[in-house]
Structure 1
Amino acid sequence: MAYGSLDTQAHNEANQAGIRTKGIDIVDARNALSTLLCPRNPNTSNPASVLAKAIEASDRFMADTTVCLEVEGPSPVPSYVNEAIELIQGYPVKLIVVCDGASTHEPGALLDQALCDQVNAVSSGQTLWHPISKQLVTSR
């Protein structure tokens, strides 16, 4: 499915809630990184749904995109991020979460094991770009 008007709407809604698109980095000819900055407390009554729609929209923006959720502030990751990931179960996105210098994928420091397992289940077997280590990694 290609990026369309509903995806633009999803990004606009996320931006209004304070979930901002940091940018899209072209890593190489085959990989891109789309980063969503996730505040501790988004300005919406349903942050999980807003974030889930923004994740899917970011994934559809271009082929071979890794969607990075960069959580602002210190660990732990806010619960709405976990809830958003639950909402996208079954949607095959290359996803990584980073917060406070740690991430959901090795190498490097890892976030909470339950979150790591949840993100790896969504991205199972896919090769994605690790924004901290600046290398391709494979989800388990």
Structure 2
Amino acid sequence: MGHNAQDEKATSDFMDAGAIRLGFDAHENQWMVETWICPEHLNSEDPVDLVARAIEASDRLVPNLTICLKVEGDDIPEYLISGIEKLADSGYPAKVIVVCGDYSTHKPGNLLSNRLIQAVAKCNPGGMLWHPIAKIGVHGPTRQILPQAAP
């Protein structure tokens, strides 16, 4: 199923709620990345659903897309974790990476919480994606509990 009017609405609703779409970047002629800035709070009655729908909409727009969710502030908002979990539970595959300061859901480098890593890993369809901190292509995280975790 290709990108459609429902996807446009999902993207628009996410932005209306406070997320900022930075747009698309190509890296090493191999990876296309769409970056979203996710605020501490979304102005929505159902921010969890907004996150899940926006990720899915972005993924349908560009094949083999890395969706980078950059968190404003020092803590990962609960709505973001739950939104990624909702997407993962739906079975929709998407290459998602979450970044908060110098931490992310993917190695190399400092890792975010195991719960978030597990949700991102469950979404991952396989293959490689772009790591915006390390500036390299990386494999998705594994579903195992990882020893190093922060925010």
- How far residue 87 of structure 1 moved from its aligned partner, in angstroms, is 1.3
1:7 maps to 7
The letter of the residue matching 2:53 is K
Q: For the Cα contact (< 8 Å) 1:30–1:64, is it kept in 2?
A: no
- Residue pair 1:23, 1:35 contacting (<8 A) in 2 also: yes
One-letter code of the match for 2:119?
Answer: Q
Q: Which residue of 2 aligns with 1:105?
A: 106
1: distance between equivalents of 2:126 and 2:15? 30
TM-superposed CA distance for 1:126, in Å, is 2.7
> Runs of 4 or more off by more than 4 Å in structure 1?
none
Deviations 1:66-92 (A, max 9, x none): 0111111112x1110111012111111
> Deviations along 1:14-59, whole A, 9 cap, x unmatched?
1110012111111243320011111001111111101111101111
111-120 or 48-57, larger mean C-alpha shift: 111-120
Q: Deviations over 1:85-128 (max 9, x none)?
A: 12111111001111122000001111112211221121153311
Gaps of 5+ in 2: 143-151
**3-state SS in 1 of match to 2:48:** helix
Match of residue 128 from structure 2: 127
**What is the CA RMSD across the aligned residues, in angstroms?**
1.2
Structure 1, gaps ≥5 residues long: none
State the number of aligned residues: 139
One-letter amino acid of the counterpart of residue 82, structure 1: I
| Cross-structure match for 2:77 | 78
- Equivalent AA in structure 1 for residue 86 of structure 2: L
Q: What is aligned with 1:24? A: 24
**Alpha-carbon contact 1:125-1:138 (below 8 Å) kept:** yes
SS at match of 1:84: helix
User: Contact (CA 8 Å) 1:11, 1:57: kept in 2 or not?
Assistant: yes
Distance 1:122 1:54 in 2: 14
User: How high is the sequence identity, in percent, across the aligned residues?
Assistant: 40
Contact kept? 1:3, 1:57, Cα under 8 Å = yes
